[in-house]
Structure 1
Amino acid sequence: MGSQERHTRKSLLMRSLDGIEKVGNKLPDPVMLFALLSLLVMVVSAILSSIGLSVADPTKPGETLTVMNLLSKEGLQYVFENAVKNFTNFAPLGTVLVTMLGIGVAERSGLITAALRGLVTSVPRQLITASLVFGGVMSSMASDAGYVVLTPLGAVLFAGMGRHPLAGLAAAFAGVSGGFSANLFLTSLDPMLGELTRMAVEPFNAEYAASLNVAGNYYFMAVSVFLITIVGTFVTDKIVEPRLGTYKGEEVGELQYLTKEEKKGLWGALVSLIVTCGLLSLLVLPSWGPLRGDGDIVSSPFFMHLVPILLIMFLVPGVVYGKMTKSIHNSKDVSRMFGDTMSSMGSYIVLAFFAGQFVAYFTQTNLGKILAIKGAELLQGSGITGIPLILIFILICGFINLFIGSASAKWAIMAPVFVPIMMQFGYTPEFTQLVYRIADSTTNIISPLLPYFAVIIAFAQKYDKKIGIGTLISTMIPYSIAFSIAWVIMLFLWMFAGIDIGPGTGVYMK
């Protein structure tokens, strides 16, 4: 009977996963999704405008908000006259491209890959699991490099130590994907999400929007690195690896340790980073610093405009490493890496065009404001506030993440709706963004529609030919549950302690 029950449970799990995969596969890709959403906004604006929908404007007593019809003569003029402007004014576009220039050189010179390999191959045996998870979390500095570098490396490393390679793969995958939002440094995700948050706030409070800091979640996310590392290590050693049992396969792969040239390059890159940080600090720490500004340091031009700083901090070590390892010979190689990086961003640029139209239409029609006000009224009427409200928001974000893999694509859709709603309840936009990042990261590792999910399965099939979506998700579910519980507990403790979540951000309530 017990065996039959286990078989039934497995069948139910597989049917559920098949259902998620089937529904998700029917969704258009993010580019077409934003194109369709833009058309939907136009149609909805025409319908709601025709019935005369309006609400009282809470920011301007005595005035009402009405819906602008984008299918009217005036609306269609707006659509065509502002198509280019909506694209070029899509704030994350420039932010992401500029940041990726520096990250691209660091990645293509070999610096990022060597740093990850060096991390996990130079620590004591008893810390190898922790180093894998930690390296995975930190790999988000190089965007998606951790998926293709660290995940297979984790499997090879565990196999070479006589441990189950799939446990090593799972530990690395949990760190890379489950801890994607956390890092000890600012990554391209911070300005990307920060700009989308600013755009969601601007129609309601332009002054507040102008003061938003892209490092608004930094304190919380830096501490989260250690939380995810500890939890991921525990789940790997106590739950996942014992469940997998003893590995009896033959495929173990070959572990590549750092060469002398790579080690020399890494030391050179580290020294150059320290020198660069020292020189950059002169822009803000001294009283005469040109980027210090007139107020406190955290609200200075330096911290309010960190994108060029991130570019420099990745570019300089990347070039130094490349010169020392001969992957960069002259300025032409650096220019080629810049070009290759921008070539790889082609799909993002296309996405930005359609996402820019959607965000602009949503703002111009006042649908964002009206939906936020109506949504806040509905939630207020339900009596749901405080912790239950935050938990509901986390569940909504996590559910949507099962069907849309891109963190920026989801936030471009959700920020205009949820940031204003949460503002109505007194939660800062930075806090709402923080909650979204937690929900997004913790469900990445169980989403069959994650872009790299198929890649992870391919890596795993080197060690188990029969492994499929259900096997991988069942392996990763303990991480997802543990990360969610631990991160939510940490979030509420942080709230109750009243600790700032980022520089110049303050605590969670306005």
Structure 2
Amino acid sequence: MKKNNANHSPENNKKNKRSSFLRMLDYVEVVGNKLPHPATLFAGLALLVVLISWLAHIAGTTAQHPVDGHSIYAKSLVSGEGLRWMYENILHNFLKFPPLGYVLVVMIGIGAAEGSGLFNTMIRALVLGAPKRMITAAIVLAGVISGLAVEAGYVILIPLGAMIFHALGRHPMAGLAAAFTGVSGGFGANFFIGSIDPILAGISESAAQMIIPDIVVNPAVNYYFMIASSFVVLITGTWVTEKIVEPRLGPYNGTAERMPIEQLTRKEKKGLRNAGWALLVTLILLALSVIPENGLLRDPESGSVLHSPFFRAIIIGILLMFFFPALAYGITVGTVRNDKDVAHHIGKSMSTMGGYIVLVFFAAQFVYFFNYSNLGIIFAIKGANTLQSVGLTGIPLIVGFVILSAFINMFMGSASAKWAIMAPVFIPMLMLIDPPYHPGLTQAAFRIGDSLTNLITPMMSYFALIVTFAEKYDKRYGIGTIISTMLPYTLIMGVVWIALLVVWMLLGIPLGPDGPLFIK
């Protein structure tokens, strides 16, 4: 009896539960990786959208637009109009797909930095100088801050996280996962106000004015809660990486070449200093283009910084911040002797993007076929109406809204597009209950849900890029590997983040400047 009791002790039960959870993740990975190649999968999904759009059109599937009440019909891609649209727009869909241009442009700077040896030396300096136990937290934190320029986080930081872990002898997928968590969590958590904040606030304000015509929702309405949320992402992201993801992955046995960690030579140290000076000069010039009231890259009409050419084309600024330091480093250490060397480094880096370009072609068709058919909008509206009809109130309603936002994000990638559909339904609804909730609270709940499932939805624009990064370390890695690796972050961070929101509401803490919980 004693032995039986020992086997059923709380410690053993906890261990068995954790083992079951890890076995479930293994199952998700196996099933996911048995799917076809990601390019084939996206092509199949695009064809599936064509079929579903036809069936939905025949069934007369519609939804009422929450703003003006007009009917939104499912559009068939099998009709004459739909077939003509596909034929005319396949090329356009590929060219306008945001990750394609962002990645290829920034690869010019990355190629120069990688080919000159700057990346190698930077990582060695980081590995040799930083406390080893702080590396994971530093990568997650950098991901959160990268929310100011989301493209930079996905394109640069995520592969860099994998490279750093690999250089340290740790599993590169764990570094990729830590960076991915910080970048995607950065949508709903940050220490700074970014370009997405005015967009969401503007949509929230328009929806709220349906009830109170003169109400104002400022871009910093969630700022206090965003700062607190940053610590949630940082702490849970670090803990899940080190306690769940990395132990599950085990040692890395792939064939990717590991960056050697050798002491820096005197010439390399001088190259890093010169690269630092080049970066400083570049930052000063960029700052001078937006800080003065007559700055060249400010909006010429309104003088705005957030809605300016600088932020609309921030990827060019990021390119320059890699390119000029790479030149300074390469000239110093001798890896850049002339223009031919620069072109060679960039071309070599670009040559590795062939598989990604193929993947993006089919992913773009899937996303834009889905948008054209109106299926994403219809699913979003019907899901919102379902939650509204359940009759929840107070904290359960807010928690339910977080979960709904997370669910809708699995089918509709664009955050601003989702919020434009959901805000006119939920903001007025929560303003009319007792007590009436401020629009900033509804917006904060939406951002939590949207951030959580960014980690596991193929509808996220950069998901195909994440798969490409993973395949660099093992050709067998696919969609199942990414989803199974990121699922613990979604689940655990979701519980902690929702708990933070509930405690915040119970304590009645303002969400940000002029961001109370309730409308007075």
Alpha carbons 1:112, 1:142 under 8 Å: kept: no
Paired position in structure 2 for 1:390: 402
Query: Can you list the C-alpha shifts for 1:215-257, whole angstroms capped at 9, x where unaligned?
Result: x9999989877766666677899x78xx99xxxxxxxx98523
**Which of 68, 77, 83 matches 2:84?**
77
2:164–2:175: 8 Å Cα contact kept in structure 1? yes
Whether the 8 Å contact between 1:116 and 1:135 is mirrored in structure 2 is: no
Within 5 Å, which residues of 2 pair with 1:6-405? 12-13=20-21, 15-61=23-69, 63-123=70-130, 127-135=131-139, 138=142, 142-146=156-160, 148-155=162-169, 175-181=178-184, 255-293=261-299, 294-383=302-391, 385-391=397-403, 393-394=405-406
Q: Does the Cα contact within 8 Å between 2:456 and 2:487 map onto a contact in 1?
A: no
Measured on the aligned residues, the alpha-carbon RMSD in Å equals: 5.1
Query: Does the residue aligned with 2:168 lie in a helix, a strand or coil?
Result: helix
Cα distance in structure 2, aligned partners of 1:116 and 1:492: 40
C-alpha displacement of 1:429:
8.8
CA separation of 1:224 and 1:370: change in aligned 2, threshold 3 A: closer
Residues 383-442 of structure 1, C-alpha deviation per residue, up to 9 Å, x if partnerless? 464233214544787xx7xxxxxxxxx875999778744664348999856754444459
Deviations 1:42-83 (A, max 9, x none): 11121122222333333444x322222221222212221222
Give the secondary structure class of the aligned counterpart of 1:299: coil
TM-score w.r.t. the length of structure 1 is 0.67
3-state SS of paired residue (1:297): coil
In structure 1, C-alpha distance between the alignment counterparts of 2:417 and 2:92, rounded to whole Å = 19
Aligned AA for 2:167? L
With over 3 angstroms needed to count, the CA separation of the structure-2 counterparts of 1:483 and 1:55, relative to structure 1, is closer
Residue deviations 1:278-308 (CA, integer Å, cap 9, x gap) = 1111211112212212233222222233121
**Per-residue deviation, 1:478:** 8.6
Supply the distance in 2 between the matched residues of 1:28 and 1:418 (Cα, whole angstroms). 33
Measure, in 2, the Cα distance between the counterparts of 1:457 and 1:352. Answer: 20
Unaligned runs of 5+ in 1: 156-165, 185-190, 206-215, 245-252, 401-409, 459-468, 501-505
Question: Residue 65 of structure 1 aligns to a residue in which SS?
Answer: strand
Q: CA 1:183/1:333 → structure 2, altered by over 3 Å: closer, same or farther? A: farther
Quick one: structure 1 residues 485 and 334, their matched pair in 2 at CA, closer, same or farther if it must change by over 3 Å? farther
Relative to structure 2, which stretch is displaced further, 171-180 or 94-103? 171-180
Between the aligned partners of 1:360 and 1:171, the Cα distance in structure 2 is: 32
Following the alignment from structure 1 to structure 2, what is the Cα–Cα distance between the partners of residues 259 and 318?
A: 17
Q: TM-score, normalised by structure 2?
A: 0.65
Gaps of 5+ in 2: 144-152, 188-193, 208-220, 249-258, 428-438, 459-465, 476-480
Residue 74 of structure 1 aligns to which amino acid in structure 2? Answer: E
CA shift in 2, pair 1:442/1:378, >3 Å: closer
Task: Note closer, same or farther for the CA distance 1:10–1:434 as it changes in structure 2 (3 Å cut).
Answer: closer
Distance in 2 separating the partners of 1:434 and 1:130 = 26
> What letter is aligned with 1:350?
V
Distance in 2 (CA, whole Å) between partners of 1:282 and 1:30 is 43
Conserved? CA contact 1:181–1:221, under 8 Å:
no
State how many pairs are aligned.
Answer: 431
8 Å CA contact 2:140–2:182 kept in 1: the answer is yes
Task: Render the CA deviation track for 1:115-139: whole Å, top value 9, x for unaligned.
Answer: 232123224xxx4311453157548
In structure 2, C-alpha distance between the alignment counterparts of 1:19 and 1:268, rounded to whole Å: 49
